[in-house]
Amino acid sequence: MGSVKLASLLMFSERVSLVANTIPRGENAMSTTSRSLAAAAMLLAAAGCSGRHAATPAPAASPQPVAKPAWTRLSPAEMTPPQKALQQRCMEAVQTMGKRLLGRLEHALDEGDPAAAVEVCRTQAPAIARAVASEYDLRIGRTSYRLRNPANVPPPWAKGLVERRVEQPTWLAGPGGRLAGLLPIRLKPECGMCHGPQEEIDPKVRTALARWYPEDAATGFHPGDLRGWFWVEAKPAG
């Protein structure tokens, strides 16, 4: 038996003797052996109780992996050839949508009814966006930090950029090889008739806006102001 074990046994024996001596020795006192066994049982019970209440150190927390964002900003210089091809398709889609929408607005204004421009943006702009999306196999729309049409909320990947009012074209790489872009729209002088200061807007236009957009927040702009953005999102072919 090793010296450490022997020392432990001697210490335990001494403790048993001390406890045994504290047990009463009356006429019906226990025998020496009985007292020793009782003392040993008391010590073991005490040891068991102290063990149950001993503090157990908490296991160290394992480091959690940091999740990568679903969309990350990407400069044109960082784009791969497939991403550049997607960017080209996105740019063409935005240009097509902008030209078609402007053409419809100019046609409505040529008819002499300024309120007709409100109707173009209300009914024809969404139809143009759907047609362009189908032609170019992507998603496309318009948004702003001050909306007129409540349906034009930004997609999730663009929400933070809209809140920060980014003024430069911004591109992002997303899951599955997707590419998204947020492209600024500056107010053109001719668009001030619907988006300019309230006091400068034709009464007929104000009436139409109040009818169709009771919560309109898209007035008070001046030529050159950041009015909003085209947003576009494309995925690789196939």
Q: How confident is the model at residue 20 (pLDDT cuts 50, 70, 90)?
A: very low
Q: How many CB atoms neighbour CB 126 within 10 A?
A: 15
Distance CA 220, CA 199 (A): 9
Q: Which of 163, 164, 170 is nearest to 184 (CA)?
A: 170
Which pLDDT score is estimated for 86?
A: 98
Q: What is the mean pLDDT of residues 113-132?
A: 94
Predicted confidence (pLDDT) at residue 212 exceeds the cutoff of 50? yes
Which pLDDT score is estimated for 113?
A: 85
59 or 188, higher pLDDT: 188
Integer distance in angstroms from the first to the last C-alpha of the chain? 77
Predicted confidence (pLDDT) at residue 236 exceeds the cutoff of 50? yes
Q: Which residues pair with 233 in a beta bridge?
A: 139, 180
CB 225 within 8 A of CB 187: yes
Q: What is the mean pLDDT of residues 131-148?
A: 98
Residues 59-109: tens digit of each pLDDT: 666 666 666 679 999 999 999 999 999 999 999 999 999 999 999 999 988
Which pLDDT score is estimated for 69?
A: 77
Residues 144-161: tens digit of each pLDDT: 999 999 999 999 999 999
Distance CA 116, CA 87 (A): 34
This prediction's pTM: 0.72
Distance CA 34, CA 44 (A): 15
CB 74 within 8 A of CB 106: no
237 or 99, higher pLDDT: 99
Pairing of strands 179-186, 170-173: antiparallel
